[in-house]
Structure formats: C-alpha cells, structure tokens
Amino acid sequence: MTQLTEMDAGALADAIRTRVTSATEVVDAHLRRIERLNPVINAIVSLRAQEALDDARECDRLTARGLSRGAFHGVPMAVKDLMDVTGLRTTYGSRIYADNIARADSVITGKLRAAGTVFVGKTNTPEFGVGSHTFNDVFGVTRNPYDLSRSAGGSSGGAAAAVTSGMLPIADGSDLGGSIRNPASFGNLVGLRPTAGRVASARPGNAWDPGSVLGPIARSVRDAALFMSVVSAPERRAPLSIDEDPSLFLSLQPRSFEGKRIAFSADLGGLPLDTEVRAATEEAARLAERLGAEVVPVDIDMREADFVFETFRSLELLDAHDEDARLRPNLVKQTVKDDISWADDFTADTIVRAASARTQLFRRFQALFEEFDLLLAPCVQVLPFPVDWEYPAEIDGVAMDKYYSWQRSCSRITATAMPALSMPMRFSEAGLPIGVQFVGPYRGDRLLLEYALTWEGAVSDVISRRPFPIEES
C-alpha cells in the first residue's frame, strides 16, 4: 500500500471520506515524517502537533456521523509564515515579530479551515518574504530535500520543501517576483501564480496592486486545481477579486497541445541563464513539438518589465515595512532596507511612467495571446544554489545588480499581470530539479492547468523522482 505521506491531498481527502483511513492516521503519519525530516530540512516552523491530532480526531468524529467540512476534510497543511492562523505564532520571518500570536485567520487561512484543513504549523519564509532564498534569524535556513547543501528557493521555500519531502501533501504560497514558481522549480513541483484577484487577500497595503498573489504548491496538477477550488472564492474586501465560481477548477480535462501555437522565449529578452537551465528550456520546446504544438521562437519586447517590477516592489516594501526599518534598523536585514531606500529617489513622474509601462506590457501580452495559445519560457535562471549564499551574485559570467536580479525570468512575467505556472522538466547532471514556465492570458488560470495536465503526463518519469534526504526508519 502507498504510504500516506506519498499520497496527494485529493487522494488523502477521498480516503478519509470513504473511511479507507482516518484523519488521525493521516495527520499522525505526516507528524512522524516531520519529526524525522524537519530537523535537517527546516521547512516546518511553529509546530502544533498535539493540537493537530486533536483536530484530526474531531474530523473523524464528524466522518463517523457522515459529515464532512469540505474538500480538505482531515488533510494536514501548514500555512506560510506570512499568513495569520488564529492563536498560532506568526513571525513573518522577522525578529521584530518573533513572539507575535495571530488574533484572527487571514482570508486564505479561513477558507482552508472552512474546507476542513488540519493545521500542523507554519512553513518557513525569508524575512517579510523578501528574497527567493528561505532563511531568517528566527528559524534559520530551509534546505532543498534533493540536496541538503542547496537552497529550497523562496519565499515559499518552506512550503515547497515540505511538500517535496512528504512532510505535507500540499501547501499555500505567495508570489511577487517568483516566490511560488521559484521554489516549485527547485522542488520538482507544480506551482501556480494565479491571475491577481483569483485568490483574494485582505492584508494591509495597496489592494489595487496586482503584483503579489497567493496560490498553490503541489505535487500534482489536480491537487493545485483542488486548492484553487477552495481558496478562489470572491472577497468583498479585495477590489481585484474575481467573481467567478471556484468550482470551475473541479472539472479540468487535459487540453491537447495538438495544433496549438506556442510562443517560445528562450531567455525572456536576453536574460543570462545557467547552461543546464538553457538546455532544459530548449528541450521543453522540443517536447511541446512532440506533443503536437507549433512552437514559434519569439523576441518579446520586455524593455519596461524590470522598471515596472522594481518600482512597484519598492513601493510595496516602503508601504509595508518602512516603519519597521526606521524604528528597528538593527532587526531588519539589509536587502529589505535597500529595497525601501530605492523608493526614496522616486518622483511622481517615476510612478506615473511605471504605471503606464505596466499597462503597455499587459496589452502587449494580451495581443500575444491573440496569436498564440501559450508562452513557454525558462522558470528560474539558475539551478538550486549553495544554501550558504544569500543570493546568486552572477549568472553565466554576468554580475547581478540587485539581490533579486537572478530571478528576473519570473519577475518580468509578474510585471505583465499574466498567470504563470512552473512545471517540472528534467534534472541536472548533479540531480537538481529544473522546471519550465508556462504563461497564459489574463484570467486564463484554468486554461493553464488543463495544458499542465497534458504536460504532467509527458514528464511523469521526472515528477515521480522524489527525494529521500534521510534514510527511512
């Protein structure tokens, strides 16, 4: 029989509902795996083991009465440590908030709770979610289960490492410059950056900014879709919230590549890439052709993308963390302070030009999707890098000018406001995962997932290659 920690979230929910197993057995199996693996991977923080078992037993009492709370009834999860869970320590990866106890659920947590999720704790994240490598001074660094000397990515690195290693069946993530797609690629996982507003948030800040979004990190496309069916309901406090029935994610059918036109960008406007990443991306284009698509190399005009992303990123950090940086500078890491300080030079003209450029990018990409069905591009420009690096300082001999420049293959897509999906492709010679990125039209989240079902079947041998960082006891 397949071990419970190897089963997808949807399969676990079905097994609990039909009493093939119990929520208590499922949660206990994952807690035992956390106990065994987390000391070296460090993906799960603020563990609530006994409370989780108590919650699982309550789920079983409901199951015995023929009742279910929802799609994730009895399924264990841990929420990213940027999202509040009532009564649970929520640090945002910052020493300033190391003892902060959440008074209420975030919107996404509330939806997961209402669907029957059993919360076992939180997942590690870099300080304030800043940077695509997961480390902080509260909990330390999260390691890649495929190679413990390598980064798990970020900022949803704890989430990805937990799902990759079987400590969780599925996890939530957030993505501004690549914080879902990057760790999904580093973990051989499915990672969806949905259209802004698809998964609503009521967090403080500029609710009109489409940059930062919430979405799933999963081992399968159907799990990612199931997650979306739970968390993508409209939210009145979120002005960009999409008013569509979340059940649209429950009826996915594999969408054929046969006869489709796919735009292929090997480097998204001339970005430097690791040689193995470049080779994997080109291999992905050939695979799409074998699946029946017409793959057309395109030279996409991305001139404004970095300016757009970097302007609105600094404004978001200024809004969210300027007071922390000013009042407690010794407790805020330098990259956060740097990003905030870059906004000091902004003028009204800077912001107006960035907003106009973002509109131009959006319309340019919408026009692209009138001609093509999908865009295929590299996901992360580098392989998982040494865990003791703060970030890669150069790629293929090209120096990075900012701490996030190495992830522009993701952040440039963020600037377009299009949904994007990281999917597994292959492994490097050293056994490290390499993903590729599919981009679809605005609000084309379901479309992306349906193509991903077909892609998933074509790379099933890659997806099935799971890590074993510690010998099983």
| Structural domains counted in the chain | 1
Q: Establish if 471 belongs to a structural domain.
A: no
How large is the average pLDDT for residues 70-89? 98
By residue range, what is the domain housing residue 198?
4-463
Q: Establish if 468 belongs to a structural domain.
A: no
**Over 90: is that where the pLDDT of 367 sits?**
yes
* pLDDT score at 204: 87
Q: Establish if 472 belongs to a structural domain.
A: no
Q: Establish if 229 belongs to a structural domain.
A: yes
Cα gap 258→249, rounded to integer Å: 22
How large is the average pLDDT for residues 343-362? 97
Provide CB contacts within 8 A for 338, sequence distance 6+. 403
**DSSP letters spanning 284-319:** HHHHHHHTT-EEEE-----TTHHHHHHHHHHHHHHH
Listed residue (145, 103, 154, 152) closest to 127, CA to CA:
154
**Is 169:223 a contact under the CB 8 Å cutoff?**
yes
Q: Establish if 469 belongs to a structural domain.
A: no
Listed residue (244, 247, 246, 236) closest to 107, CA to CA:
236
Cα gap 216→226, rounded to integer Å: 9
Cα gap 31→51, rounded to integer Å: 11
How large is the average pLDDT for residues 154-183? 98
Question: 85 vs 110, 249, 445, CA distance in Å?
Answer: 8, 25, 27
Residues with active-site annotation? 80, 155, 179
Could you read off the pLDDT of 243-290 as tens digits, one per residue? 999 999 999 999 999 999 999 999 999 999 999 999 999 999 999 999
DSSP class of residue 259?
A: T
* pLDDT score at 233: 86
**Over 90: is that where the pLDDT of 180 sits?**
yes
**Over 60: is that where the pLDDT of 470 sits?**
no
**Is 333:299 a contact under the CB 8 Å cutoff?**
no
Could you read off the pLDDT of 185-237 as tens digits, one per residue? 999 999 999 999 999 998 889 999 999 999 999 999 999 999 999 999 889 99
Q: Establish if 473 belongs to a structural domain.
A: no
Could you read off the pLDDT of 294-312 as tens digits, one per residue? 999 999 999 899 999 999 9
Listed residue (449, 424, 427) closest to 435, CA to CA:
424
* pLDDT score at 469: 56
Could you read off the pLDDT of 402-438 as tens digits, one per residue? 999 999 999 999 999 999 999 999 999 999 999 999 9
CB neighbourhood size of 442 (10 A): 16
DSSP reduced 3-state for 398: strand
How large is the average pLDDT for residues 78-103? 98
**Is 308:350 a contact under the CB 8 Å cutoff?**
no
Cα gap 224→187, rounded to integer Å: 15
- The CATH number for 383's domain is 3.90.1300.10
In the block, tokens 């407690």 appear at: 328
**Over 50: is that where the pLDDT of 473 sits?**
no
Report the mean per-residue pLDDT for the chain: 97
Cα gap 220→460, rounded to integer Å: 10
Q: Establish if 470 belongs to a structural domain.
A: no
How large is the average pLDDT for residues 446-473? 88
Q: Establish if 250 belongs to a structural domain.
A: yes
CA-angle at 326, arms to 320 and 332, nearest 5°: 75
Distance of CA 23 to the CA centre of its chain: 26
296: tokens are 């057309």
* pLDDT score at 203: 86
